[in-house]
Every structure is written in C-alpha cells, then in structure tokens.
Amino acid sequence: MSRRNAEKSNIQIGIFSDKSAKYNLAILETLFSKEATAWQIAKALQKELKPTKNEEASSRRTQNIYSVIQRKKGRLNELKDKGYIKERDKKWSLTKKGLIALNVKKPDLVAKRLQATKDTFLEQFEKEVSSLPNDTITHPLGIQIDFAKLKPALAKMNPTELLAILLEEAKALLLEGIELDRITEEDLLNLVKFRAAPRYFKF
C-alpha cells in the first residue's frame, strides 16, 4: 500500500462511514464540478448510483433520489449542517471543508481537476488572500501570525500551490485525530493557517 493510500485509510470521516456514505460521496463529487440545484444533483446521482437505459425508470429513480436528498432530514441538509456544502439561491456548492473531505477519499480526482483548469476554488482563494486582516492573530498556544507580513508572500504564490498546502495540512490534522464531522470549517481553517504559516512562510 502506498503512503498516500495508507494515510487515507487511517482517516475516518463520519459521513463516509454510515449507510449514507455512497450518497454523501456522490454529492460531494457532483458539487466539486459545479454548483447545482437539488434536482440536478438527483439526476447526477441517478446516473452514477442507479443507472438505467429505460427513460421511465430513470425518471422514477431520479424522483426517489430527489426525495431522499431534499427532505428536511435528507442528505443535503445533513451535509449542510455539518459544513460540507452550502446553499444559496436554491443552488448547492462545495465548501472548503467539503473539498478537504473529498480529497481524503478521492485525492487523485481532486489533484487532476485542480491541475487541469482554473477552478472556482482557486479564484476564491485569490480573493480571500487580498481580504486577509492586516493585524496579528495569536493562537491559544501562543503562536503569532502577522497577516500584514503574510499577505505579500501569499500573493506571490500560485493559487494551486496554496490550495495544495491547505489540503495537505488539513489531512495532517485529520491524521492527528481531528474529527471532521465535529469541527467547524472556520476552526479547521484557522488550525490549518496556524500550522502552515511557520512552515511555509518566513517573516
């Protein structure tokens, strides 16, 4: 077993370890490509999880999947409540936490996609770098990060490289025992920043 696969197998993520795991993973994969409505997600899941050449059966299966994922306690709302996806104007999209989870299960898929095209995640990263606060933040353990000094270094980096750092550091935290289902995206990203800044950036 390769080191990458060994590490992946040691990370347990709640949404991938219950009876809804295949639905949860398929939803994250679908939203990795683009934002989508619940019906569009259902159609994508039908083609992947319950394919058929019969048009009537396809429509019926899509409706059943839609009911499963769209209801109040369905897949979409559970993934939203746990911070893996978000909804805006009736369209669902992947969060950074969702991308981190997908990267654990499908690292090759994530790497291939991000290297192949200018991704919306990368565009978002560029915007977020410019909006970082110009002050110093202190970690509870005493580590300080001066974002005023960090921003120029980040701006010089390729967005793909920045995203790769985020995914690598997040996976390291999960290997150390962070439970992705329980931690908020904000807290996770803060831990990633504090972990990554001293290693990748010299002030």
| pLDDT tens profile 19-42 | 899 999 999 999 998 899 999 999
Is the pLDDT at 1 greater than 50, yes or no? no
The predicted-structure confidence for 81-99, as pLDDT tens digits, reads as follows 999 999 999 999 999 999 9
Given a cut of 50, whether residue 141 has pLDDT beyond it is no
Stretch 103-107: mean pLDDT = 94
Q: From CA 175, how far away is CA 180, in angstroms rounded?
A: 11
Residue 5 pLDDT level (bands cut at 50, 70, 90)? very low
- Tell me the two tokens of residue 108: 């090759």
Side-chain half-sphere CA neighbours of 79 within 13 A: 35
Answer positive or negative: Cα dihedral of 5, 106, 167, 122: positive
Between CA 7 and CA 172 the distance in angstroms is 9
Are the CB atoms for 122 and 156 separated by under 8 Å? Answer: no
The model's confidence at residue 191, banded by pLDDT at 50, 70 and 90, is confident
Distance CA 199, CA 118 (A): 26
Beta carbons within 10 angstroms of residue 74's beta carbon: 17
User: 64 or 147: which carries more pLDDT confidence?
Assistant: 64
As a whole number of angstroms, the distance between CA 92 and CA 44 comes to 13
Q: Is 138 exposed, middle or buried (0-12, 13-18, 19+ CB in 10 A)?
A: exposed
Beta strand pairing call for 91-94 and 144-146 = unpaired
DSSP 36: B
Please tell me the least confidently modeled range out of 4-13, 57-66, 188-197: 4-13
For helices 21-33 and 38-49, the axis angle rounded to 10 degrees is 120
* Contact criterion met (CB below 8 Å) for 42 and 62: yes
pLDDT of residue 111: 87
Closest CA to 94 of 28, 162, 26: 28
